[in-house]
Amino acid sequence: MFRLFYTPGWFNGYDLLFEGIVLIIALLIAAYSWRVYRINKENKYAYFSLAFILVSLSLIFKMFTNGILYSFPIRETVATVLAPATGAHLRYADLFYRAGFFIQMASMLGAWLLIFLISQKPRDRLNKYFELSQIGLFVYLVLLISVVSNFEYVVFYLTSAVLLSLIVLNYYKNYLNTNNNKNAFSVLVAFIFVLFAYLCFAFVSLNSSLYVIGEVLLLLGFLLLLCTYRKVIRKK
């Protein structure tokens, strides 16, 4: 059966729980950003919302494919259900997993890219045609990387790490521009956690426990985003 990489057996299931929490946080942020967009009709809020929806989509697909891989009875049931589509003896089962991994990677890369574009300043450069041409080029690259990553998973994690480094840099600039705003600092630290999580995932082939560290860092990063979100919405 096709798998991206092997994770520590004892951790199977816990990662799904961690990702479930991250998924809820991402949806909360997406919903609030969408609400802000509906009030002031500025595109950047809609893009930000879309970015976190893409993060959620990626996590849903990751949880789905990993969940099936971890759980043998479910896997067998799914195999039976999919048998007519995948052919006798599930000769094309790999295709199902590859499709799952592809959507997971494409949507996550798309999300990081959108967050990077939104956090770029000055805003004036994001005029209509500049925006469209950049998005077009990046969509092509995201799809290309996602296809290649199905064979070499490290390409996906390294590309994500590069994008996250640029996002961290933009958030550092934002922190300085907002006169050392505490919430801006929390968001900066949160993305640093996410960056280190992806660096751990990139080198998981060296030691499978890096996957556990990566998942913990990812959860910590998103919990910090949740704290910031709560502080923001509780402001009077």
Contacts to other proteins by CB under 8 A: 32-33, 36, 39-40, 44-45, 48, 118-119, 121, 170-171, 173-174, 178, 181, 183-184, 186-187, 228, 231-233, 235-236
Degrees to nearest 5, angle at CA 160 with 20 and 99: 65
Query: φ and ψ at 235, to 5 degrees?
Result: -65, 135
Closer CB to other proteins, 81 or 176, in the complex: 176
We find the least distance from the C-beta atom of residue 169 to other proteins, in angstroms, to be: 11
Q: Which residues contact 209 (CB under 8 A, 6 or more apart)?
A: 8
The interaxial angle of helices 14-40 and 209-233, nearest 10 deg, is: 30
We find the least distance from the C-beta atom of residue 34 to other proteins, in angstroms, to be: 12
We find the least distance from the C-beta atom of residue 137 to other proteins, in angstroms, to be: 22
Query: φ and ψ at 207, to 5 degrees?
Result: -155, 125
Q: Side chain identity at 119, as an amino acid letter?
A: S
d(CA 23, CA 46): 18
We find the least distance from the C-beta atom of residue 95 to other proteins, in angstroms, to be: 38
Closer CB to other proteins, 57 or 115, in the complex: 115
> What b/e string do you get for 48-76 counting C-beta neighbours within 10 Å, with b at 16 or more?
bbbbbbbbbbbbbbbbebbbbbbeeeeee
Under DSSP, the state recorded for 179 is T
Closer CB to other proteins, 98 or 173, in the complex: 173
Region for residue 100 given its phi and psi (left: phi exceeds 0; alpha: psi -120 to 50; beta: otherwise): alpha
We find the least distance from the C-beta atom of residue 184 to other proteins, in angstroms, to be: 5
Closer CB to other proteins, 16 or 51, in the complex: 51
We find the least distance from the C-beta atom of residue 47 to other proteins, in angstroms, to be: 9
User: Cβ(75)–Cβ(69) under 8 Å?
Assistant: yes
Under DSSP, the state recorded for 89 is G
